[in-house]
Structure 1
């Protein structure tokens, strides 16, 4: 059968089952079905969960954990001892005049843990604290020149690690993962902040 005809038949069958779907949804469903035919999920030295959502959760968690282990090891050369320290510096690089609580909330930490992270960064001369003009109880945080230098070195290390971690994926596959998972992250973050206030 002609490949174009085969594709049209697949689209027609998909459209019949999903009348409100668009072409991009069909393409995603087609690719997922092809991947499922070719390979079932497995985990190194660990069982596969019984549901697809649990499998996805485990997969994302294990990738993040492994990538984080490599990153923390590499960051030690830069003078950083945790991935959270990198994330806090990154927050400061992309915003100015942040309150301590702004940084802690943006990185989903508890207040006590976040204050310890900020204290380590301050003692290492990577950040500086200033008083707030309107509220004497509030401290504002900025990155020092040394902090900017360390963050730049961390970016280089992280870029190399990310290349290693995702070398088996094409740019299109990476972009598809981002497109599919970014709304999940945004929704969970909003929900977490709302629940935290309760």
Structure 2
């Protein structure tokens, strides 16, 4: 027979170290309490009518998206084609305006072969040159005045320098190739000689 002290010590060991089955059951209960979803956060039951209505709306949105995408694709193709056509025919107006000048040059060429008066040929070429200049000015082409002007790297291209008087230092002494503006934009820089 065991003494009272031994019995008490055995009971106190049980309290300190509970059985493994009791520990697992206790942990499982605690885990369930931690992971349990509160009643206000649970997924509501969706009625079939609402679900089918949502599916219909989704189908309509997909249809609208596909239509919009195809309309945009058609628009993109059409504008690309129009841009290509515009590039191809961009010079048409200019060519039509230059055709009368070409006709005059053809007539002048034929007249030169049989002409005996050099002054008449000279006057004819002068008229054709003036006509060409007028057509080009109507289309926005304007010659650049460079001789005697201060050198400007935004407008002029210096070919060389030449000794010049004090009044022409840093200025353009001579113009090798004329510069041109098209609607106030430089399309060709003037090639010039600068006074040094």
TM-score by length of 1: 0.18
**Relative contact order, higher structure (CA 8 A, sep 6+):** 1
The structure with the larger Rg is: 2
- Give the strand-richer structure, 1 or 2: 2
